[in-house]
Amino acid sequence: LEGELGYLSACSGLPPPPLSDAEPLASWDSGGGSFQISARVGGALRVWEGPLGDSNVTATLLGLQGKVFAGASFGRSTPNPVSAQEAAALVARLEGELLPPPPPWLLSLLAIPGCRVVGFGERTSIFALAASLILPNDETAGDGGFLTVDSVWRAIELSLGKSDAQLAEASNSPLFDEEDLVLPKLLLLHTLMRRLGVKGVRYVRTMGNAEGVLLPQPLWTEVPAT
């Protein structure tokens, strides 16, 4: 159900065509400990779930630096400033050990000409962060923000070697005290885009899966009065 809600949430922020004509389309949700990419294939919803999110990627980067990861409840550790060598080591770990191979159905879907990839989430999502570093302020709040492999990489290059304070100053919008997650998020996003052969992701701002909850009929079936 979570995959379907995510798919519907992503579609809710898109301009026409309507949902019934939206294939091929893949929705991408990325959280603290996992990511989900969902799509309708042959009339059925398929979901690829990966065990990586910004928290465990940050923990991996801190480990490569010889530091210990501490969550928000313990006065969060920061990997910043991150060197180019440390970023390259993180990407190598992601590609070589941590990221599972994408399923054939997803690769086939993404190879279809015109397939759209939509990343959705609220203001602290991986896609909102990338948009805040790449796009003007008026594009970060809704659909219209298009993130390319090259633009995400430029954001990575601009973020390397910066402290938390310098990253906050460089962003086009507030980072909500998550400067420590900037490079882990950007590097995960860029690595997955390259792994999947995705040239661009359309960012749609949503309140998590809230918009999707409004759409599926089974959730709103009337309960007979007793």
* Per-residue pLDDT tens over the stretch 180-198: 999 999 999 999 999 999 9
Share of the chain above pLDDT 90, in %: 55
As a whole number, mean pLDDT of residues 163-190 equals: 91
Q: Are 26 and 115 in contact (CB under 8 A)?
A: yes
Distance CA 48, CA 8 (A): 16
Tokens of 125: 């999502």
State pLDDT tens for residues 152-163.
Answer: 999 999 999 999
Pick from 100, 87, 29, 20: nearest CA to 58: 87
Contact status, residue 117 vs residue 200, Cβ threshold 8 Å: yes
User: Between 205 and 200, whose confidence is greater?
Assistant: 200
In sequence order, the 6+-apart residues with CB closer than 8 A to the CB of 6 are 27, 29, 36, 38, 120, 209, 212
Residues in the chain: 226
Which of residues 10 and 98 earns the better pLDDT score?
A: 98
Is the model's pLDDT at 92 over the cut of 80?
yes
Element (H, E) at 204: strand 200-205
Mean pLDDT within 42-51? 91
Question: Above 80 in pLDDT, residue 21?
Answer: no
pLDDT: which is higher, 134 or 34 = 34
For residue 148, the model assigns a pLDDT of 93
**Could you write out the DSSP letters of every residue in 149-182?**
HHHHHHHHHHHTT--HHHHHHHSSS--TT-GGGH
13-23 exposure pattern, b = at least 16 Cβ within 10 A, e = fewer: bbeeeeeeebb
How many other β-carbons are positioned within 10 Å of the β-carbon of residue 66? Answer: 6
> Sheet containing 44-50: which strands, arranged edge to edge?
44-50, 35-41, 25-30, 116-121, 200-205, 145-148
Average pLDDT over the chain reads: 82
- Which candidate, 176, 166, 177, places its Cα nearest to that of 75? 177
